[in-house]
Amino acid sequence: MDGWRGIRGSSIGVFRRHIRRMIKTTQSGIFVDALGTHEKVLTDEILNIQGGHVYVIDIARLYEHEQMLVFGDLLRAIYSLKAEPPEDKKTPPPEKIIFFVDELNKYAPKGERTAPLTQNVLEIAERGRSLGVILISAQQFMSAVHPRVTGNCATKVIGRSGSAEVMSADYGFLDKEIRSNVTRLSKGELLLSHAVYRQPVKIVFPRPAYWQPEA
């Protein structure tokens, strides 16, 4: 295969094989030739997002590469909606849009190479707040997330972690004694770190209504 715009033919062949594998053999059904009567394009629907609403997008049953495609598509759609709202949109987008993402380390992992999806996450982390787009994520290991994401994080909430994790450079904002205490936190106990507090604040999840101590 001949090259195209400076890209080697072998590289194009590898790309085509990956696309064919994702679309033909390893897919959960999100790639279709035509939409059904009750099927809609997710990006088109998310552009009609309204303030005061909660939108849950369940990608648990998708293959990992499909999850990345869906997440990246949503990030680009929301960022474009806030940065350059469509002229034909009748109602303005919400003033604030909050993303809740589980296991962000899969989409913005620490490493020297910055994948296109990671770059989208960095755009939100570094410039999203000025547009009203806020990213909230949860993961087991903060050290596994790209440092430019954690570095732009204004609020950090930390649960009990192992000593190897809390001794990493990502926890440098904690002094040695507090790091040691993090390894001994009980279930439901967390440390909240924010610039308005001189020291991290310990918070405790309240017990559920059915499990309250007797008066």
Asked if 122 and 149 touch (Cβ cutoff 8 Å), the reply is: yes
Q: 57-75 pLDDT, tens per residue? A: 888 888 888 888 889 899 8
Domain boundary (132, 153, 174) is at: 153
- Average pLDDT of the chain is 85
The vertex-52 CA angle with 46 and 53, nearest 5°, equals: 45
CATH number at residue 102: 3.40.50.300
Q: Do residue 104 and residue 184 come from a single domain?
A: no
Q: Do residue 58 and residue 145 come from a single domain?
A: yes
Q: Give the pLDDT score at 189.
A: 93
Q: Determine whether 122 is exposed, middle or buried from the number of CB atoms within 10 Å of its CB (0-12, 13-18, 19+).
A: middle
Q: Give the pLDDT score at 214.
A: 67
Domain boundary (153, 169, 184) is at: 153
Q: Do residue 161 and residue 212 come from a single domain?
A: yes
Q: Do residue 53 and residue 138 come from a single domain?
A: yes
Q: Do residue 147 and residue 48 come from a single domain?
A: yes
Region 107-119: mean pLDDT is: 86
| Whole-angstrom distance, CA of residue 174 vs CA of residue 64 | 34
Q: Do residue 147 and residue 190 come from a single domain?
A: no
Q: What is the DSSP string of 143-184?
A: GGB-HHHHHT-S-EEE----HHHHTSGGGTTS-HHHHHHHTT
User: Looking at per-residue confidence, does 185 or 208 come out higher?
Assistant: 185
pLDDT over threshold 60, residue 211: yes
Q: What is the DSSP string of 15-77?
A: HHHHHHIIIIIS--S---SS--TT---HHHHHTT--TT-------TTS-HHHHHHHHHHHHHH
Q: Do residue 56 and residue 46 come from a single domain?
A: yes
pLDDT over threshold 70, residue 215: no
- Residue 80: left (phi > 0), alpha (psi -120 to 50), or beta? alpha
Domain membership of residue 120 as a residue range: 40-153
Q: 137-151 pLDDT, tens per residue? A: 999 999 999 999 999
Q: Give the pLDDT score at 4.
A: 65
Q: Give the number of domains in the chain.
A: 3
Q: Do residue 7 and residue 111 come from a single domain?
A: no
Written as six digits, the tokens of 167 are 């001794």
Q: 36-50 pLDDT, tens per residue? A: 777 788 888 888 888
Q: Do residue 187 and residue 87 come from a single domain?
A: no
Q: Do residue 72 and residue 4 come from a single domain?
A: no
Q: Give the pLDDT score at 3.
A: 61
Q: Do residue 46 and residue 142 come from a single domain?
A: yes
Q: Give the pLDDT score at 34.
A: 75
Q: Give the pLDDT score at 193.
A: 93
Region 173-197: mean pLDDT is: 91
pTM exceeding the 0.85 threshold for the entire prediction: no
Domain boundary (153, 171, 195) is at: 153
Q: Do residue 8 and residue 107 come from a single domain?
A: no
pLDDT over threshold 70, residue 2: no
